[in-house]
Amino acid sequence: MQTTINNNLRVLIVTSSLGDMYFCNIQELNKVVLENNLNAGYFSISSIESGKLKKLHKSSLKILFLGAKIEQQFIY
């Protein structure tokens, strides 16, 4: 899968339970999760803040989707 990263937006890192990593922006997050058949509880979503990797919780992910005016199409 190939995604286009916009460096002006927050970069998200999706890590599967097998260790596969996918880099994307919030606009492509639904596509990444659905196309790679990632099931709830078997993947994590992180972002880089202040030079450190920070795991996103359900509430902070919901806020990102609301801010981008995009509907979340997967269960996290």
Question: Is 56 a domain residue?
Answer: yes
Question: Is 64 a domain residue?
Answer: yes
Residue 48 is predicted with a pLDDT of: 85
For the chain, state the CA radius of gyration: 11
> How many CA atoms does the CB half-sphere of 51 hold within 13 Å?
0
Question: Is 24 a domain residue?
Answer: yes
Residue span of the structural domain in which 52 resides: 12-68
Residue 4 is predicted with a pLDDT of: 75
Question: Is 75 a domain residue?
Answer: no
Question: Is 6 a domain residue?
Answer: no
- Is the Cβ–Cβ distance between 30 and 74 less than 8 Å? yes
Question: Is 76 a domain residue?
Answer: no
Question: Is 38 a domain residue?
Answer: yes
Q: Residue 36 — pLDDT band, cuts 50, 70, 90? A: very high
Query: What is the number of domains present in the chain?
Result: 1
Question: Is 45 a domain residue?
Answer: yes
pLDDT at 1 over 80: no
